[in-house]
Amino acid sequence: MFGWEFPPHITGGLGTACYGLVKGLAKHGLDIVFVVPRLFGDEDNRSAFLLDAGEVEINERNFSYDEYWKNIKYYEIGSNLVPYVTPQDFKKMIQESKLENITTSENVFRAKYKFSGKYGQDLYEEVSRYALVASVLAKENQHDVIHAHDWLTYPAGIAAKKASGKPLVIHVHATEFDRSGENVNQYVFDIEKKGMEIADRVITVSHLTRNIVIERYGIHPDKVITVHNAVENLGNDDIIQNKGFPEKLVTFLGRITYQKGPDYFVEAANMVLQKDSNVRFVMAGSGDMLYRMIRRVGQLGISNRFQFAGFLKGEDVDRLFSISDVYVMPSVSEPFGISPLEAMRSSVPVIISKQSGVAEVLKYAVKVDFWDVDALSDAIYGLLNYQGLSKMFRNHGREEVDNLKWDNSAKNVKKVYESVAGTLN
């Protein structure tokens, strides 16, 4: 299994979902090697063997230029993004006119690539190097199925499938249309499409995402299976957090980017405060729209009722939910959305956009169109001021989310594995 992050070193729901799924699969008796670009040493390795891609040695015994170039051509990574051993080797490679006919008489080389494990300026290069490591791992380790999470690892999954001939399952947690709207990054879109085409099965986290995969990427419906995400039990109902102020608290938690709709949250907050000043709003997260949101809050004159908490994870998220009265997820396009489930397990009423995958599985959540700021502000005001309504969503929401378990999601993923690889012990 190839992933780009693993708790506690996460940037959002992807790492959380991978962790929950791995734990669920382990309970169903599957042995998993989970490969990440970089391990930091404090990850929970009880459910899977965690492997640091930076510790995998690339050498003359397990890697040939000839074979790798065929693999590169197979999934069409541009030559300027190809991983390389040294600048000299790289220059030699790209100057060859017929890459498949390269013959090498190099000295024995040994190399390990060090990955940042982040999403920085060298991301494309790291994605390609990661694919090289995957090719080596697939040749040297016995396995039944290859599972790749999100576009960053699709090239790795393709390389591993090409090297070992084993079936490839790719897991679509988000598409480029979710992240960028119609202004897609063509490079990322091409990787996603190639991964979907080459995979034996495509798992999507919602029917919403499944429809995008079929309609926008042209993938045959029979190949695309929806497996909804889930949430772990909190395991600690004793979190006591002092709010520090008397007002009710409305929370936004997520990346502060176009996809998550933070601007609609700010506008709705302003409308609520015009009717009820006994409310505070908190926006927890980071992203390219953060400073724009700070400026907008200032322009509206509500900064004394609005806080920016920065990026939170782990227990800090649970503490925030423990003092929240309402949670809002106004996403423009949300393939699934685990954070509402995390809020509901803390008995927090949630408002979610109809344009989210999690809306498919939740009954006890208020659902509004992301763009309808009037409806959003009314929903917030209602949950804050009508105790009977709030109590119903708190009680039934907690009960509902307790039934959304990773064990069940993992059981469905195992069925996908067995559909391409036969019965697994």
Strand partners, 250: 281, 326
Q: Are residues 18 and 137 in the same domain?
A: yes
- 286: domain CATH number? 3.40.50.2000
Q: Dig out the tokens for 145 from the structure.
A: 């199925």
268 and 301, same domain (yes or no): yes
In a domain, 340, yes or no: yes
Residue 3 in any domain: the answer is: no
Is there a single domain that holds both residue 196 and residue 297? no
184 in a structural domain: yes
In this structure, are 196 and 339 located in the same domain? no
Q: Is residue 396 part of a domain?
A: yes
Work out the angle at residue 74's Cα, subtended by the Cα atoms of residues 73 and 78, and round it to the nearest 5 degrees.
40
* 219, 252: one domain: no
Q: Check whether residue 98 and residue 172 sit in a common domain.
A: yes
Q: Based on the domain organization, do 210 and 279 belong to the same domain?
A: no
Residue at 424 is within a domain? no
Q: Which domain holds residue 381?
A: 248-401
Q: Residue 389 burial (CB < 10 Å; 0-12/13-18/19+)?
A: middle
Q: Which of 194, 226, 258 is the last residue of a domain?
A: 226
What pLDDT is attached to residue 417? 97
Same domain, 286 and 198: no
Q: What is the DSSP letter of 356?
A: B
Residue 306 has φ and ψ, to the nearest 5°, of: -140, 130
Q: Which residue has the tokens 């105790």?
A: 387
Task: Kindly tell me the sign of the dihedral angle through the C-alpha atoms of 98, 99, 105, 106.
Answer: positive
Kindly report, residue by residue over 228-259, the tens digit of the pLDDT: 999 987 655 556 677 888 999 999 999 999 99
Asked whether residue 75 falls in the same domain as residue 191, the answer is yes
For residue 293, which of 268, 314, 322 has the smallest C-alpha distance? 268
Which of these three, 192, 226, 260, is where a domain ends?
226
* 242, part of any domain: no
Determine the pLDDT at residue 70: 53
Total number of domains in the chain: 2
Closest CA to 420 of 117, 166, 52: 166
Same domain, 368 and 311: yes
- To 10 degrees, what angle do helices 150-164 and 123-140 make? 30
Q: Are residues 193 and 311 in the same domain?
A: no
Q: What's the average pLDDT block by block, 10 residues per block, for the chain (425 residues)?
A: 92 90 95 93 92 84 55 37 37 38 44 76 83 90 96 94 96 93 90 97 97 98 97 68 88 94 98 97 95 98 96 91 97 94 95 97 97 98 96 94 94 97 78
Q: Is residue 80 part of a domain?
A: yes
CB-CB neighbours of 20 under 10 Å: 23
277 CB-contact burial (10 Å; exposed 0-12 / middle 13-18 / buried 19+): exposed
- What DSSP letter does each residue of 212-272 carry, written as one string? HHHHHH---GGGEEE----------TT------SSSEEEEEES--SGGG-HHHHHHHHHHH
Q: Is residue 142 part of a domain?
A: yes
Rounded to the nearest 10°, the torsion over CA 422, 3, 40, 335 is: -120
Residues 174, 212 within the same domain: yes
